[in-house]
Structure 1
């Protein structure tokens, strides 16, 4: 699928040298942690297993004809006359562009690349090491007598229509460092440090960003998006997907390359503000608009006043509607002077009488406030249109995300064609900074060799074996390995359209075919029709009251039929009630059509939640897992779910394997942490410090209880969601916490660790060289396009049925257990086949899938209304799972 690019409109470039990271939790910054002995390992070999395959990759080889070029880095400080620093990158770029126009000769005619912030690069030195410039930037504005506290929206005299104000900026440019191009000009082999190469790549990427900025593109990290309606796709609720391109230079063992990929982000749908609000809130008429919600979603967006062709930034909404909102306006004397009296007038009256603008739709609506906090400036809604290319930063609704995925899919051959055209159209061969290095880019995708690993065999019921084909296996006419017995259960129905009698009969029939003995449900409880308009919590509480009146003991399972799929507001309260308060397994469904395939998928989830096992790897079932079968080993999957807004806490989830030597059964532990913080701060939380001993202790105790009283001496850690700049933090902070939790259980020794980061959010795509189809499942590449020093590889374990497959980029940060390259790749490939809720290989290993599901599900417990604007409030607390549920695979 096409990637949804995260980030801000102009995300800051990473620092040139390591800085204290905002992702380090507060308690980690203040607590004195023992310095870690771990550092990121280098590659220790290459895999050889599997069938060889020729692949294309969206990397374009770069030739460097002037490898001895030195880049010079300069620090840039832009301030106003009153010494206030200029933070806006948009203004920063305008100032520096104007500076070059005025002072080009003083700079020796040297062209440069500027990041919009505090850094500027040149190929070769500027004449001087330090400069101080004064730059006058001409700002066009309009003298407006208007509906503002200062009377500033609409002018009376045509002769005063345009005025120009010169704003003065002080710019200091000073030499900071030299960066040799040679560090990335040749194919790097094994090097002691790649700091210079990272700096050189940063220079080249800055060039790409500046070119896109000069073209008026929306910038999102290294992706750029043109304001072209042909690239726009409506995904619903006032949100538009816009397609663009990702471009970045990369150093590989083969040499310097340009990574070019199709990229997608989401923006506010441009056009009339009223149209956007109707679409965003999904109402048909303006009278149904929730203005409190509108105020939140409109804040800081830019609008164009259509009657004056000027652009403003929204700061809020007026307290009163247009026909009641007053402002002070000076009225001229009879002699025409401006020394007249001040009168109070409504915004509506002003525009109708003094500007001659009819406002048929704005009479009862609030106005947009485009002024400053203590100096409001009001514009009628119908005179304002949202400017294009404004990023939508809220979390997408499920229906929006589904629409985005569906509409942004591209077949492999279509993507190849688009990328070739993009390199031809947007390549930077003519850029003056790159030209100084003699850089030229090949227009063909690079050819690489990959390998296709053999799929593992799976053991199912009655000693039967499943042999996956093309990443899929079929359980038709097969039973589950360890089926459950469901003797006392109930069905609750929140949906008026579902026949639960028929549903339960079909579920029992399908269960029998899978070896699951399901008795008739004890109760079928229908929601009372008059409750369907009540709030979700009240509906759930009433349903449990009805259910309790019909049951004489605790059910083993409650099947819950929801009224809508995915975005149902009953889901969170229902799961919270069952998993936290009552302690009973539950399965939520919302069937559009009850088919055998649908019911079989539901039964996989139910069986796993009730402690059954659907299938195991054949080598796992026989106890032949290399390096794991003889040494107690726990596998951890770690993920943090960020919920889209800065004022909503993030949810950290860790799953740990249990019942060693199995690697298919897991338990989850979930905690809240500060919003947008990626490092998990609850792995170790001593009781004496007000904690609960943390996530790892909980998982270790469960491992001990479920593994014949054996303690793990090996940890295989899969970490999701971290970038390269955070790798060392994983080894420093998170591993340190795991060790402390381990030692708190009375162990003096430090266990062996293998730590692997899985990245899905990247821009490397693999294509079959001789086929229009996606690469086959099991495709792995660990040469040519990988990191020149570190231990990484790409693996596409799943079958891409639609769109273009995206491989997972695995980084092995540490391997004390001592896996061979083939051994580790086969283990990771096999772990993509153990997801108990699926009969297809997953794109990423099951422990990470489980951690993601656990974080998302428990995150739905939270009521967003309980959270303060500053993040974690005193009332925001994550309910703990009931003791009956904690060790179950509730997240399946």
Structure 2
């Protein structure tokens, strides 16, 4: 950390981080755990709990904490090695009932003795090596009671319960409220407990047939008929059903003893044609259940749950399975469910404060025994943190400057800095409520608005189209584009009323036409503010420049103002939750103007599924003539910047989105090295540009709240609020920035980590520049929550993912 920022107006905020005190003289013993015979991770916890209960008055006279895998920690020694025989006895989970009489042997071997003194030295700044093993002990101590509680359901690092809050989402899903908790190192010799509210969708207790039918939005009998079809449509239904139910836990209902199982696969055949070998004879599954259990199956077209392999396969009809209530639903939810979940999560700061405070008090009470055992204490008072509110930059347009207020402004009487020429464009409606005369009026109003805001030579060349049958949309667009081509007219832009992904895929991948979608309800009114927003998006898509930061504000970061600087943003989009196939999409954007930072070029690449490290950033090969050749995304961007600006960048600021703290070192090593190698092969001078590498984290649980009663309508902290003290890392250069105005719910700051800084920026320079960049998002007239380069990369990666996703959104 080069120091602390001083720019802006000082203020105080409350953080949902609670001080944790610990006794650095306490002993901690780390034991490796081996369970024989080996069992799944979820089963191990039940065995270890049985072991602790069985031997608590003999060989384990302490309160251990267990990580659920291979590590157990105690505050007292239980010897260097210990072998204990454990009988599971009664278990609540019927998935393990078959093994409750099994004799297990648990072997504990002393692996290490985490030193709490090393944690105290790290927090005090006397060493830069973070003792992660010791922090893990503190985290496990406070999580132990919540993890073993029968009233809480774990999900990642959060715990959920319907008693904390719930909402019916429809389709067999219900949203539960919970709380997130994590121990983090902080400044001023502090260890803090970060507690935040969480929300997650869970399964309701219902039959599997009910769940499948509600998810498909169809009557079970209609779905059964479609499943019987032996054609492509029937195959589509079966594949979709398999994706929907795979991994779910169900409970069978046909036996006296209920049994839980996890669905691994479904049969390819419908139940009515499914046979199996029993005592050398082929018996149908339907006949077996009728003769053995007296059950007449109603849905013979459905596939069956398939368990086991080879000759030991077992088949269970879907109608005899019931979903286990309260299991986490990690797959993609539909639009209505997403809206319901968003409505629940969008709570005001005061509500979030109350929920967080209650969660902290409950956790302190529940973990009291284990905390006392390890010498740990939670302070339930909110941490008061010094903060600053940065002044907004002046935004420069083609005919003047404007000073944003509360992170927003408007385009009234403003002209874009650089409007792009659009000679040939058309408009199409997929709504039966927008007719041809409406389209002509909208086209005229949009053309007039383009001219008033600085656009050039707009000309509608394609007759307005009204298409109300979805199957004819593609055909209508193709026909119109073909007719224009016969007149040697190339369509540049197509404005689509009511967005349709098919249109996007067709125009962008096949016809090479830029599209702009518009909402039917808003564009019919021709509201000037809505038209202005559309024009901002259209101009940006054509490479125009809507606005820039005025030169005086840019000089607050003098190194960037004085030297040609390239801004790069990168992100990776992964396949949807529960999707086994498909690839990840990496997107890299780079600024193509200096010092405006308003125009960006984009490169998108596919890479292996769920791989976070970017591929194809730089490569070197030898061609057939033995010459060295090189390429890759970074080299393309460096050469494009030189071509567009006639400058060779002297500084590069690289914003990387979507990286967790555990991946910092690997990402820095891989992508920083690729950027360095690209510089050397891009005809750069011997002294290449200096690089600043910044990771942008949006998905965290740290929130800030006004320390005094807020006067604003949304009760959030002010846009421009920045924090780099107390709750930040004790040695690394990081800061929290809330650059935007919270419209709904509680504002969440973005956590920026400066992993490498060869440019030697001061804290004020990099913080102010990052803040000011958030006012240059080309698609709206407000400051956005994180830097536009990462925003654009995120949008590009998502668009590429939609191109390859057959059920894209």
By the TM > 0.5 criterion, same fold? yes
Which residue of structure 1 aligns with residue 708 of structure 2?
A: 770
Correspondence 1:280 to 2:215: yes
Correspondence 1:522 to 2:461: yes
Structure 1, unmatched stretches of 5+, are 1-42, 144-161, 331-341, 867-892
Which residue of structure 1 aligns with residue 540 of structure 2?
A: 608
* Paired residues, number: 773
**1:245 Cα offset (Å):** 0.7
Which residue of structure 2 aligns with residue 204 of structure 1?
A: 138
- Counterpart CA distance in 2 for 1:853 and 1:695 is 17
- Counterpart CA distance in 2 for 1:230 and 1:48 is 41
**1:214 Cα offset (Å):** 1.1
2:677 alignment partner, one of 733, 736, 740: 740
**1:602 Cα offset (Å):** 0.9
- Counterpart CA distance in 2 for 1:507 and 1:47 is 45
- Counterpart CA distance in 1 for 2:616 and 2:113 is 42
2:778 alignment partner, one of 836, 841, 851: 836
Pair 1:353–1:116, CA change in 2 (3 A): same
Which residue of structure 1 aligns with residue 689 of structure 2?
A: 751
**1:574 Cα offset (Å):** 3.1
**1:436 Cα offset (Å):** 2.0
Q: Which has the higher helix share?
A: 2
SS in 1 for 2:250: strand
2:441 alignment partner, one of 498, 502, 513: 502
Contact 1:490 1:555 in 2 (8 A): no
Pair 1:725–1:622, CA change in 2 (3 A): closer
Which residue of structure 2 aligns with residue 220 of structure 1?
A: 155
Contact 1:269 1:388 in 2 (8 A): yes
**1:575 Cα offset (Å):** 2.4
1:593 alignment partner, one of 498, 515, 522: 522
Correspondence 1:130 to 2:81: yes
- Counterpart CA distance in 2 for 1:350 and 1:139 is 32
Which residue of structure 1 aligns with residue 227 of structure 2?
A: none
**1:683 Cα offset (Å):** 0.9
SS in 2 for 1:379: strand
**Which deviations, in whole Å up to 9, do the C-alpha atoms of 1:718-772 show, x marking residues without a partner?**
1111111222223211111011111112333342111111111111000011134
**Which deviations, in whole Å up to 9, do the C-alpha atoms of 1:481-530 show, x marking residues without a partner?**
22233222222444444332232122123223323245341113536666
- Counterpart CA distance in 2 for 1:793 and 1:266 is 32
2:358 alignment partner, one of 406, 421, 426: 421
- Counterpart CA distance in 1 for 2:476 and 2:13 is 58
**1:224 Cα offset (Å):** 1.4
Correspondence 1:74 to 2:37: no
Which residue of structure 2 aligns with residue 662 of structure 1?
A: 596
- Counterpart CA distance in 2 for 1:749 and 1:77 is 55
**1:587 Cα offset (Å):** 2.0
Contact 1:323 1:347 in 2 (8 A): yes
**Which deviations, in whole Å up to 9, do the C-alpha atoms of 1:676-722 show, x marking residues without a partner?**
111112110235489971101111111101112x2112111111111
- Counterpart CA distance in 2 for 1:191 and 1:550 is 72
Pair 1:327–1:487, CA change in 2 (3 A): closer
1:258 alignment partner, one of 170, 189, 193: 193
Structure 2, unmatched stretches of 5+, are 225-236
**Which deviations, in whole Å up to 9, do the C-alpha atoms of 1:45-79 show, x marking residues without a partner?**
01111111221110112233x33112211111223
Correspondence 1:313 to 2:255: no
**1:649 Cα offset (Å):** 1.1
Q: Give the alignment's TM-score, normalised by structure 1.
A: 0.81
Correspondence 1:706 to 2:654: no
- Counterpart CA distance in 1 for 2:253 and 2:559 is 69
Pair 1:140–1:618, CA change in 2 (3 A): closer
- Counterpart CA distance in 2 for 1:811 and 1:123 is 35
**Which deviations, in whole Å up to 9, do the C-alpha atoms of 1:384-441 show, x marking residues without a partner?**
2111233333344555444422331110001101111111122256444321233222
Pair 1:697–1:318, CA change in 2 (3 A): closer
Contact 1:492 1:558 in 2 (8 A): no
Correspondence 1:44 to 2:2: yes
Which residue of structure 2 aligns with residue 484 of structure 1?
A: 420
Contact 2:554 2:769 in 1 (8 A): no
**Which deviations, in whole Å up to 9, do the C-alpha atoms of 1:601-657 show, x marking residues without a partner?**
111011112232111111279877511232221111111111223422111111111
SS in 2 for 1:261: strand
- Counterpart CA distance in 2 for 1:521 and 1:435 is 75
Contact 2:440 2:464 in 1 (8 A): no
The 10-residue stretch of structure 1 (202-211 or 551-560) with the greater mean CA deviation from structure 2: 551-560
SS in 1 for 2:740: coil
1:299 alignment partner, one of 223, 228, 246: 246
Correspondence 1:441 to 2:370: no
User: What aligned pairs does 1:316-465 form with structure 2 within 5 A after superposition?
Assistant: 316-327=265-276, 346-352=284-290, 354-357=292-295, 359=297, 361-372=298-309, 374-397=311-334, 400-427=337-364, 430-462=367-399, 464-465=400-401
Contact 2:739 2:749 in 1 (8 A): yes
User: What aligned pairs does 1:171-190 form with structure 2 within 5 A after superposition?
Assistant: 171-184=106-119, 188-190=123-125
The 10-residue stretch of structure 1 (319-328 or 285-294) with the greater mean CA deviation from structure 2: 319-328
Correspondence 1:684 to 2:613: no
- Counterpart CA distance in 2 for 1:825 and 1:214 is 43
- Counterpart CA distance in 2 for 1:612 and 1:141 is 63
Correspondence 1:241 to 2:175: yes
- Give the CA RMSD over aligned residues: 3.0
**Which deviations, in whole Å up to 9, do the C-alpha atoms of 1:430-483 show, x marking residues without a partner?**
444321233222222111121101011101122x11111111011123222222
- Counterpart CA distance in 2 for 1:765 and 1:687 is 48
**1:136 Cα offset (Å):** 3.4
- Counterpart CA distance in 2 for 1:461 and 1:561 is 28
- Counterpart CA distance in 2 for 1:70 and 1:111 is 13
**1:284 Cα offset (Å):** 3.7
Pair 1:621–1:115, CA change in 2 (3 A): closer
Correspondence 1:475 to 2:411: yes
